[in-house]
A and B are shown apart, each in its own frame.
Chain A
Amino acid sequence: MRAYKPKDDLQAKAYYTDRYYVAPQVPKSAVEDDEIFAADLEAIKAKFEVKEAYIQVEQMVIYINAHDIYGVLELMRDELEYTQLSEMSAIDWLAKDDTFEIFYQMLSMTKRKRIRVKYFIKNGQAVDSVEKLFRSADWSEREMFDMFGIEANGHPFMKRILMPYDWQGYPLRKSYPLQGDEFAAWYEVDKIYGKEARDIIGPEIRDTATVDRYDSERFARLGFEVPKGTKITGNEERNPQEYQEEGGVFLIKKYTKESSKVIDDPQR
């Protein structure tokens, strides 16, 4: 019987998990443990709703509402000295509850602290662009759109950035296979040679374990080369490749191993 594979989550899965295995948690601590984070959280809480906040691995994580993001980041930049947006992207939770989780990684250079601002959006919902606040969001939002299909409202140039403009599908969604779909498999052939060339060029060989030692059309076994297209029996004569032909080469000094000099001291 073929194993059932869910269509909405094509990520590789552990083939065996102990049925009593309970995954441990990375410890979370309360925000009050850290004075600076506590003060920052107070300042944010005074103006915006914060759903959850904790410290994990030396960084504060706060969950806010999706529509507050511009305000929160503006407050953090102008009043709390979080002057840099290091990173932003999304996490795909479509298989679980049809949502995306967006995170913004903020850095304060004066306080030497990092905060991760997060919120959830529904599938198909757009986020508010923070490109006006941080120019770096220009490219990260484009990357997020490219990889997940999440659009950003108010972005000046919402186009794909890493994949070609005419690409189909959003590669980092869990429903997108690692090795690409039908469109991806023939993308370059269709574009350069046209669909009718598919039969001539043939499908991609995606099996990494493929070794066809009876193939003399494309690859040659080093030291056992045969003319192209010869049927390989396995009893080929050893045919060592020299740099130069036996009879010497016109106008070029014959290379011999004896006359070469080996440099064994790399520092010389």
Chain B
Amino acid sequence: MAQVQNRLRPFFENITFDRDDNELVLNFGPQHPSAHGQLRLMLHLQQEQIVKAHPDVGYLHRGMEKMAENMIYNEFMPTTDRMDYIASSSNNYGFALAVEKLIGLEVPRRAKVIRMLLLEINRLMSHLFWLATTALDIGAMTVFLFAFREREYLMDIIEGYCGARLTHAAIRIGGVPLDIQDSFLHQLRVFLNKLPQNIKDYEDLLDSNRIWLMRMEEVGVIPTEMALSWGCTGPMLRASGVAWDIRKEEPYELYDEVEFNVPYSDKGDNFARYRIYMEEMRESAKILYQCIDMYDECVKNGETELMAHAPKYISAPKLDIMTQNYSLMQHFVLVTQGMRPPVGEVYVATESPKGELGYYINSQGGPYPYRLKLRAPSFWHTGILTDLLPGHYIPDVVSIIGTTNIVFGEVDR
């Protein structure tokens, strides 16, 4: 076959390099090793200083909102995994909670405890991953290897629960599909007992590291007004002086029963964000210890239910499906046609590791959502780069992108 030359023209054809104002235009991405995904930045430079930044996203836009409109509710659950793929269960949970609020379901207590265990494990996984990649970008290879080692242990626990390492789909609408496996709590305890020492190891490597401090302190300062105006949430907002954690302020599940602190800082720079991630890992560990106790209590009280009882929306337990005719019929209808939530709309926000993860669902009474909008925190954390980067120097770009903790699965959806 004759070889056909490809038609690609240089992508910089629309950019004027020969400029009067002495500005240099630098293209960064979309496939850059330290961009945490497919971020493309067009940076206007004056010498080494950035005067204008133009983030370009959409290189991972996969049409999830369109998919949601063409899928029954349970079918969409595995797709949510691929949004923030560092912490899949938190996405599953946000969607499940939104649909439960729409239907008006109450989840059994044991399922709630298991959900909280999964959510906090996911938060730890996400923060460890953040630490690993950011440290790698700044040049601290050791921390990368250490943090990935710990993350693998958490993945083992999750894998024992749901069979997947990365894309869990471990939470169902109305509860959780399974009880945790026998070794879950033991493995978790072993991990948590080691965690304080591990976190101390990372801090020993980083906190007094001159390079780390120079690239983190007083770099990428986000004032409170800017953070609020850009819709920043999660650690990004807490580092800018607003102690806003949805787990605390609008508690869902059993977060009002556990005791934990919300770390915040009024510095707003990269280092503040780094400190908040480290403190949040400690808080997560604290929550997990309490969840373990709560789970033991559930076992003691003989609470065995894992799924809510709502035959119109949720399939009966497997035993009932296999033995009772009516349950089997319900299950068949729910699997083939899907549940039909009531007409109405709901917006539910949960605190994912990155920030406020919201699901807006508009239901018209059919088995498919009429409109589903995913409010992903990283989208705005990428947008803020427009205002944040000008005034900084080129090496700061990498550390700022690192501490914003953006994941492109959820920026572009």
Contacts and interface: CB of A to CB of B under 8 A. Distances in A.
B4 A135 contact: no
Nearest to B312: A24
A48 B348 CA distance: 27
Interface in A186-243: 191-194, 196-197, 200
A85 interface: yes
Interface in A29-49: none
Q: Interface extent on B, as a size class? A: 35 or more
A109 B70 contact: no
Nearest to B348: A57
Interface residues of A, number: 57
Contacts of A14: 337-338, 340, 366-368
A267 B153 CA distance: 8
B228 A105 contact: no
Most chain B CB inside 10 Å of its own CB: which residue of A28, A134, A139, A197: A139
Interface in A154-194: 160-164, 171-172, 176, 178, 191-194
A24 B342 contact: yes
Q: Determine the main DSSP class of A at the interface with B.
A: loop
Contacts of A24: 342-343, 365
Contacts of B412: 162
Interface in B321-369: 337-338, 340-349, 356, 358, 360, 362-368
B383 A86 contact: no
B190 A105 contact: no
Nearest to A57: B346
Interface stretch (A64-72, A87-95, A254-262): A87-95
A12 B368 contact: yes
Contacts, number: 153
B388 to A, nearest CB: 11
A103 B360 contact: yes
Given A16-B337, A162-B58, A197 B375 contact: no
A196 B358 contact: no
Contacts of B226: 135
A16 B358 CA distance: 31
A23 B340 contact: yes
B231 A196 contact: no
A24 B339 CA distance: 13
B293 to A, nearest CB: 22
Interface in B1-58: 1, 4, 6-8, 57-58
B250 interface: yes
Nearest to A180: B63
B201 to A, nearest CB: 17
A123 interface: no
Contacts of A147: 65
A127 B212 CA distance: 46
Given A86-B375, A267-B187, A13 B366 contact: yes
Nearest to A167: B58
Given A136-B231, A192-B8, A171 B63 contact: yes
B343 A105 contact: no
A11 interface: yes
Interface of B: 1, 4, 6-8, 57-58, 61, 63, 65-67, 69-71, 101-102, 104, 153, 156, 187, 190, 226, 228-231, 242, 244, 249-250, 337-338, 340-349, 356, 358, 360, 362-368, 370-371, 373, 375, 379-380, 383-384, 386-387, 412-413
23 contacts: A14-B367, A14-B368, A15-B337, A17-B366, A23-B365, A25-B342, A56-B346, A86-B375, A87-B373, A91-B371, A105-B358, A107-B349, A134-B231, A136-B231, A160-B58, A162-B61, A172-B66, A178-B67, A192-B7, A194-B4, A196-B4, A200-B4, A267-B153
Interface of A: 11-17, 21, 23-28, 56-57, 59, 61, 83-87, 89, 91-92, 103, 105, 107, 109, 112, 114, 116, 134-136, 138-139, 147, 160-164, 171-172, 176, 178, 191-194, 196-197, 200, 266-267
